[in-house]
Chain A
C-alpha cells in the first residue's frame, strides 16, 4: 500500500485518523465529514476536499468503516460512512500513538513548557 503524501499540511495517516474521529460522533456522508473537519479545526486544517475520498477507500478496504447508500439531510442520494468496531480499536491505537508523537515533539520544541 503506497503511502503517498496526501497533503502538505498533514503527516501521513493523520487524515485517516481525523476521519475516523469524525465518524465517532455518528455516521456521516463524505461532504459532512469534510465540513466537520473544516469547522471543528476552525479552518486551521486546510485539507483538499477531494483527498478525502482515497482516504475513505483505504478505510473501507481495511474494514475500519462501512458504507451504505442513503439520503443526506438535503435529500441527496449519498454514501453514508460509519465506524466499525475494528475501526474504533484502530482509532484508539492511532490516537495514543499520535499523542506520544505530539508530546515528544513539543518536548523538543518547547522544552520549558513540558
Chain B
C-alpha cells in the first residue's frame, strides 16, 4: 500500500487501530479477572495499565506521518481564508505573478526550443556545416566552391558524408490554379540519408533522379502535402507544377521533420538576415556538374552540410579539412588565383541559431528582471501585511506556537499565491507562444518547433517556487521574531512600526528602483538604436511604392529574349495601371542583404585594386520609382536597351576614380565592358543596418534575370496598388509564379522586424517595471506615514508646518530612490557593453540617456509620494495625540 493510499484510507486504519487497542485492554482485563480481581476493577486497572488511548492514537498518527500532512492542510486552509479577507491584494498579487511568470515561461519556451533543444535529426550533434572564408569577401563565411567541397568529400575520412544544398522559393500548383509559394531545398541525393530521415510515404532521392533527361521528381514536406494535396493517401506518383515544370511526387516527409529555412541556413552569412522566409516545403534533387566550376570564384551559392563519423571531435574534422584545403590552394595557384580560402566548420545547430542567440538571451534577461522586480514589490506588500498581523503572531507565540509554526502559515499563503499565479502564468504563456507562432513576422529559426514541454513546465515550477520564497520568506521571518510581551501591551495596537522593518522595506524599494533603472537604460539604448535605423538617411523613398517578386521558369524561359519580352510586357502593363507615376524592375529585392557580388576593373588602369560590388540589373524607371537621387550623368532611358551603360553608386565611383569624373569611363564586370553613364547617390538599398554598399546598375537586357522584382510608384498608397499590380502581371501571364507582393514600406518594416520586436518587448518590460517601482515607493511611504501618525501629530503640535511634513515624507523616499538609481544606472552601463552588438548607431551610453532615466525616476518618485505626503500633511495633531 503506497503512502498516498494509506493517507486516503487513514480513517479505516485508525478505526482498526482503535479496535486493536480496545481488544488489548479487554485481554488485559480478562487476565486480571482470572487473577482474581472483580470485573469493574479489572477493567479500570487494565485501562490504567494501558495508558492514554487518545495519546497513543495521536502518536500512531505521527508514526505514519499524517500529522504533518494534516497540519499542512490546515495551514493551507488558513492561508486561503487570510487571502480571501483581502481579495484585492490577492488579485493584484496573482495577476502580477501571472504576468511575470507567464512572460518568463513564454520567453523560456522559445529559448529552450530554439537554443537549447537539440535539432530533431538522428545524432544531430554530429551534423556540421563547412564554410569557406575569404579575406577579400569580408569577415563573413561563404558556402564553399563546389570543386573544393568535392575534394573534401573525397579526402575527408572524418566525415561520414557531405551534401550540398541551397534554398529558394518555388511556386507549386496543381492544375491551372495560381501557384502557392513554398520554400524549396535543392540538394544532392544523399541529403536525407545524411540527416537520418526516412520519408513516411514513398522514397527519398536516388542517383537516377538526377540523370539528365529523367523526369523531374520532388519530395514534399508533410505540411505541403496536407496543404496542396489535402493529405491525399495516393499522392505518390501524382504530379504537381513546380514553377513551370511538371514534377512527380516521390515521397512525403514525416510530420515531425523540420528543416531550417533559407534565413536560418543561408548560403553565405554576413550576419544579416532577410525578411521572414517560408518553411521549406519541397525538396528537389540535383547532381553537381563539376565541369561548370573553376577552382576560384563560385563561392556562396551552396551550403555544405556534413555528418561527422561517430566519435570524431569537431576540432579534428576542422583540422582535417584545413589540411585538405592546402591541396585546394595548390589547384588554385595552378590556375593563377592568388587568394586562398580558409575552412571553418561549425555544428549545424550553432549555424542555425547563432544570429538569434544574443537577442533571445537579451529577452530572457529583461523578462527575468521584470519578474524579480515584481517579486520585490510583492515582498514589500507582504511585509506590510505581516506588520499588521504582529499582534496575532504575538498572541500565538505566547500560547506556545513555535517560530516555525508561525512561519508556516505565511509560507502556505505565499505558496497558494505563487501556484495560482504560476498556473495562470503557464496558461498565459501557452496562449502567448501560440499567438507568437502564428502572427509573428520575426523570423526566429526553428520557430515551428517551439512547443511547451516538460522542461518548460519544470522551469515554470522552479520560477514559481523561487518567486514565492523570494517574496514570502522575508515577511514570514519577521513575523516569527515577535516577542510575546507585545501581545500584553494594550497600547501597541496597530503597531505597524519598527524601524528595522521600515528599513527593510526601503532596501527592497531601492533594489526595485535599481532593477528598473537598469532595464530602462537598456530600453533607452534600443529605442535610440531603432530610431536611428528608421530615421537615418537611406537614399531612397519607400512611400507609395508596391513591389512584386516574380520567378521565371528556367525551363520555359531559358531564352533571354523571351525573358526580356516578358519584362517589357509586364512593365507596359504596370505603366497602364491608373494612378501609377513610374514603374521599373530590379534583379534583387531591396533590403535583403548583399548579393551578386562581383569584381570590377577599370579598362584604362586594370592593375588598380578595386572593391567588390553588388551587381543589379534594372530597367528605365527604376531609379525614379525608388526615389534615388542622381549625382551626375543620367539614369537609364529607353535608348539604353542595346547600349552597354552602367550606373555606379557614389561611393564606388569615388573609389574607382578618386581624381576625376567617372562619366564616360569604361569598366569591366563579369568580363563584359560597360560605359559609365551616370552616378547614383549612395543608398542603403541592401540593409538599413549596414553602410551604403557599392552597387553597379546595368540595363536588364544585358543578362535578363530569372528572379525579377517589379516596382511601381503611384499617387495612392502602396496598399491600394497591391491588387492592381498582381492583376496587371497575371493579365499578361496568368501562370507565372508571383512569390510575393508587398509595399516597400512593409519590406522596410520587415527588415527591421527583429529590432522592432526587441524594442517593443523592452519597452513593455520597462514600462511594467516602472509602474511596479512606482507602486513600491507608494506602498512604502504609505506604510511609513501610517506608522508615524503619532510622531507626526507631536511634531505638528510643536510647530512643524504642513509643508514641512509633506517635504519630509517625500524625502523619506529620497535615499532608496537615489541609491537604487545610482546602482541601476551603473548596472545599465555594464549591461550596455554586453548588448552593443545588437545596437546600431549608438556608441555606448550618452549622458543624456542617464539624465533622462534619472529625471524620469524623480518624477515617478514624486508622483508616487504625492498621496502619502498629502495624507501626512493632513494629520490632525489632536486626533493623532489622542490616538489609540
Listed in ascending order, the chain A residues whose CB lies under 8 Å from chain B are 1-2, 4, 30-31, 34, 48-51, 53-55, 57-58, 61, 72, 74, 76-79
Tell which of B20, B27, B28, B60 touches A54, judged by Cβ atoms closer than 8 Å: B60
Determine if A49 and B27 form an interchain contact, defined as CB atoms under 8 angstroms apart. no
Tell which of B20, B49, B60 touches A79, judged by Cβ atoms closer than 8 Å: B20
CA distance A94 to B27 in the complex (A): 31
In whole Å, how far is A44's beta carbon from the nearest beta carbon of chain B?
A: 16
Determine if B27 and A76 form an interchain contact, defined as CB atoms under 8 angstroms apart. yes
Q: Which residues of B contact A1 (CB under 8 A)?
A: 63, 65
CA distance A2 to B64 in the complex (A): 10
B23 at the interface (CB under 8 A from A): yes
Determine if B21 and A53 form an interchain contact, defined as CB atoms under 8 angstroms apart. yes
Q: Which residues of B contact A49 (CB under 8 A)?
A: 24, 28, 49-51
In chain B between 19 and 41, which residues have their CB closer than 8 angstroms to a CB of chain A?
20-21, 23-24, 26-28, 30
Chain A contact surface mostly = helix
Determine if B28 and A53 form an interchain contact, defined as CB atoms under 8 angstroms apart. no
Evaluate whether A74 and B24 lie within 8 angstroms (CB atoms) in the complex, with A4-B59, A50-B51, A54-B59 already known.
no
In chain B between 117 and 160, which residues have their CB closer than 8 angstroms to a CB of chain A?
none
Determine if A31 and B23 form an interchain contact, defined as CB atoms under 8 angstroms apart. yes
Determine if A50 and B52 form an interchain contact, defined as CB atoms under 8 angstroms apart. yes
- Beyond A50-B56, A58-B63, 19 additional contacts (C-beta under 8 Å) are A31-B23, A31-B27, A49-B49, A49-B51, A50-B21, A50-B53, A53-B21, A54-B60, A54-B62, A54-B63, A55-B63, A57-B60, A57-B63, A61-B65, A72-B27, A76-B26, A76-B27, A78-B20, A79-B20
Tell which of B23, B27, B50, B64 touches A50, judged by Cβ atoms closer than 8 Å: B50
CA distance A49 to B38 in the complex (A): 21
Evaluate whether A51 and B51 lie within 8 angstroms (CB atoms) in the complex, with A61-B64, A79-B16 already known.
yes
Determine which residue in B21, B26, B59 has the highest number of CB atoms from chain A within 10 A of its CB, and name it: B59
Determine if B20 and A57 form an interchain contact, defined as CB atoms under 8 angstroms apart. no
CA distance A80 to B290 in the complex (A): 88
Closest to A69 in B: B16
In whole Å, how far is B157's beta carbon from the nearest beta carbon of chain A?
A: 57
Q: Which residues of A contact B881 (CB under 8 A)?
A: none
Listed in ascending order, the chain B residues whose CB lies under 8 Å from chain A are 16-17, 20-21, 23-24, 26-28, 30, 49-53, 55-56, 59-60, 62-65
Evaluate whether A51 and B49 lie within 8 angstroms (CB atoms) in the complex, with A1-B65, A78-B23 already known.
no
Determine if A48 and B20 form an interchain contact, defined as CB atoms under 8 angstroms apart. no
CA distance A49 to B48 in the complex (A): 10
Q: Which residues of B contact A72 (CB under 8 A)?
A: 27
CA distance A57 to B67 in the complex (A): 14
Closest to A32 in B: B27
Q: Which residues of A contact B23 (CB under 8 A)?
A: 30-31, 76-78
In the assembled complex, 19 residue pairs joining A and B whose CB atoms fall closer than 8 Å, in A order, are: A1-B65, A30-B20, A30-B24, A31-B23, A48-B49, A48-B50, A50-B21, A51-B51, A51-B59, A53-B20, A53-B60, A54-B56, A54-B63, A55-B63, A57-B17, A58-B63, A74-B30, A78-B20, A79-B20
Closest to A76 in B: B23
Q: Which residues of B contact A48 (CB under 8 A)?
A: 49-51
Chain B contact surface mostly = helix
Determine which residue in A1, A49, A79 has the highest number of CB atoms from chain B within 10 A of its CB, and name it: A49
In whole Å, how far is B2's beta carbon from the nearest beta carbon of chain A?
A: 12
Q: Which residues of B contact A34 (CB under 8 A)?
A: 24
Closest to B13 in A: A57
CA distance A55 to B26 in the complex (A): 20
Closest to A55 in B: B63
CA distance A74 to B30 in the complex (A): 10
Determine which residue in B21, B24, B26 has the highest number of CB atoms from chain A within 10 A of its CB, and name it: B24
In whole Å, how far is B72's beta carbon from the nearest beta carbon of chain A?
A: 15
In whole Å, how far is B443's beta carbon from the nearest beta carbon of chain A?
A: 57
In whole Å, how far is A9's beta carbon from the nearest beta carbon of chain B?
A: 13
Evaluate whether A53 and B17 lie within 8 angstroms (CB atoms) in the complex, with A4-B59, A48-B51, A58-B63 already known.
yes
CA distance A1 to B52 in the complex (A): 21
CA distance A1 to B50 in the complex (A): 24
CA distance A36 to B63 in the complex (A): 23
Q: Which residues of A contact B64 (CB under 8 A)?
A: 57, 61
5 residue pairs, one from A and one from B, having the closest CB atoms: A50-B51, A54-B59, A57-B63, A50-B56, A48-B51
Q: Which residues of B contact A58 (CB under 8 A)?
A: 63
Closest to B59 in A: A54
CA distance A30 to B25 in the complex (A): 11
CA distance A34 to B56 in the complex (A): 15
Closest to B58 in A: A54
Closest to B47 in A: A50
In whole Å, how far is A67's beta carbon from the nearest beta carbon of chain B?
A: 9
Tell which of A2, A31, A53, A76 touches B56, judged by Cβ atoms closer than 8 Å: A53
In whole Å, how far is B171's beta carbon from the nearest beta carbon of chain A?
A: 70
Determine if A51 and B56 form an interchain contact, defined as CB atoms under 8 angstroms apart. yes
In whole Å, how far is A114's beta carbon from the nearest beta carbon of chain B?
A: 37
In whole Å, how far is B218's beta carbon from the nearest beta carbon of chain A?
A: 64
CA distance A106 to B27 in the complex (A): 38
Q: Which residues of A contact B26 (CB under 8 A)?
A: 76
In whole Å, how far is A31's beta carbon from the nearest beta carbon of chain B?
A: 4
In whole Å, how far is B879's beta carbon from the nearest beta carbon of chain A?
A: 52
Determine which residue in A30, A49, A50, A76 has the highest number of CB atoms from chain B within 10 A of its CB, and name it: A50
Determine if B59 and A74 form an interchain contact, defined as CB atoms under 8 angstroms apart. no
Q: Which residues of A contact B30 (CB under 8 A)?
A: 74
Evaluate whether A61 and B63 lie within 8 angstroms (CB atoms) in the complex, with A48-B51, A50-B51, A50-B55 already known.
yes
Closest to A58 in B: B63
Q: Which residues of A contact B53 (CB under 8 A)?
A: 50
In whole Å, how far is A16's beta carbon from the nearest beta carbon of chain B?
A: 10
CA distance A53 to B118 in the complex (A): 56
In whole Å, how far is B846's beta carbon from the nearest beta carbon of chain A?
A: 64
CA distance A62 to B319 in the complex (A): 60
Closest to A57 in B: B63
